[in-house]
Amino acid sequence: MTELVARAGVSRMAYYRNFDTLEDILRAYFAPRISHLFDDVIERVPTDAKIADMQQFFEEMGAALSLAERRNYEYIIQRLFDGNMRRFYDNNRHWDGLDPTAKRYWAKFMSAGVYGIWREWLLHGQQERLATFTCW
């Protein structure tokens, strides 16, 4: 905690006034970044702009995801990713005829696949260019 507040340039008291747990601060850091990426997809931002935002996001997230994996808090990132996948499907998929349980499983299934690809790419050197991912 001492290192965290020193790097942030705030006092311990400022930290405790704003956050209850380390998980709270990690969520506050990652949530807007992941949501912004999904906003681009949900709002159908033109491909060039979307690719540029993704490139910036992935450049920032490569080291962060690697650290999250080593320090055992990757689950926070994955939960945020899952929530945004549900938001994506709620905004872009017609759920006609699907009950809530089927919707939940569909979003989780798709989230696991996309997150797995994203994770693999980030943690293994980001060798391929983003533009080659035609599914984006």
- Those residues whose C-beta lies under 8 Å from the C-beta of residue 33, and which sit 6 or more positions away, are 57, 60, 61
Query: Is 6 inside a domain boundary?
Result: no
48-62 as b/e: b if 16+ CB within 10 A: eebbebbeebbeebe
Query: Is 3 inside a domain boundary?
Result: no
Alpha-helical regions (H) of the chain: 2-8, 12-18, 22-42, 47-70, 74-92, 100-123
Report pLDDT for 135.
54
Query: Is 43 inside a domain boundary?
Result: yes
Report pLDDT for 114.
85
Query: Is 38 inside a domain boundary?
Result: yes
Total domains in the fold of the chain: 1
Q: Which residues of the chain have a pLDDT value below 70?
A: 93, 129-136
> For the segment 66-76, what is each residue's pLDDT rounded down to a tens digit?
889 899 999 99
Q: Which domain holds residue 89?
A: 21-132
Please state the length of the chain.
136
Report pLDDT for 35.
92
Report pLDDT for 74.
92
Query: Is 76 inside a domain boundary?
Result: yes
